[in-house]
Chains A and B, each alone.
Chain A
C-alpha cells in the first residue's frame, strides 16, 4: 500500500488550515476502485496506425513545385533532367 502524501516528504496540507480537506474531497470525488480495462485496445491501435496518412515533408512538395516550374519555363532542361534521373 502506498503511503501517498502521508509520508516521504513534508506535506503542505498537514497544517490546521487544511485539515479535513482531503477527506472531504475524497468523499465528494471517491477514488477509483482498481479501474480495469474492459477490452483489449490493440485492434484500435492497429486501426489508428493504418488510418494515418503518409505525410510528405514540405520540402519535397517545394522541390516538386520548383521542378515543375523549371520544366514549364525552360522545356530544354527536361532532357537534361531525364538524363540525370
Chain B
C-alpha cells in the first residue's frame, strides 16, 4: 500500500515516515512567517498533529504537500494574530546587516514597527512576497486564496506601510 494510503488508514509508521520527510520543509516555511525558531518548532508539531487528526478527510490522490503547507500557514497566521505586536528576530537567523547611518537606522526601526502593526493577513503576504521572495502562486496556494487576492493584499500592505511611515515622519 502507498505511504499516503497507509497514513490515511491510521498507520503510525506511515505517519512517522511522512513526518520525517517533511518536518524540515514545514519548519522552514513556518519560521519564515513567524520569525521565531522556538515557536516555529511548536507550530511544526501542531501542524502535523492537525494533519494526523484530519487524515480521514484527506484524499491520498490529492496534493499532500499543498495540504500540509496550507495547515502550516493557517497556524502561523493564527499565531501572528495572537502574539504581541512585535518580536525581534534572533541574530543567528537573520542575514548580516550592513553598518549604517543614524537616519538609515531610524528608517529601519520605523519600518519594522510599521510592519509589525500591519494586519496579520497583509503581513503574512508581505513577509513571504517582499522579504522571503516567494512567488504569488506559492503564497496563494499556501493561503488558499487566488493570486489576484495575493496581489491585492500586497498592494494594500505596501500602501499601509507607506502611510504609517509617513505618519512617523519617515519618507520611504
Contacts and interface: CB of A to CB of B under 8 A. Distances in A.
Chain A contact residues: over half helix, strand or loop, or mixed?
loop
Interface in A12-41: 12-13, 17-18, 20-22, 24-41
A2 interface: yes
Contact of A9 (B104, B127, B136): B136
A62 B58 CA distance: 30
Chain B contact residues: over half helix, strand or loop, or mixed?
helix
Contacts of A17: 162
Given A5-B136, A37-B41, A45-B49, A24 B94 contact: no
B112 A29 contact: yes
Interface stretch (B1-9, B25-33, B59-67, B71-79): B25-33
A3 B19 contact: no
A33 B93 contact: yes
8 contacts: A2-B134, A4-B134, A20-B172, A30-B131, A31-B132, A36-B24, A41-B27, A45-B49
Interface string A45-58: 10011001000000
A29 B124 CA distance: 13
Interface residues of B, number: 51
Interface of B: 16, 19-20, 23-24, 27-28, 31-32, 35, 37, 40-41, 44-46, 48-49, 52, 89, 93-97, 104, 107-109, 111-112, 115, 126-127, 129-137, 147, 151, 154-155, 158, 161-162, 172
Nearest to B115: A29
Nearest to A43: B45
A2 to B, nearest CB: 6
Contact of A21 (B46, B127, B134, B162): B162
A74 B137 CA distance: 65
A42 interface: yes
Contacts of A18: 158
B23 A4 contact: no
Contacts of A35: 27-28, 31-32, 37, 40, 93
A18 to B, nearest CB: 5
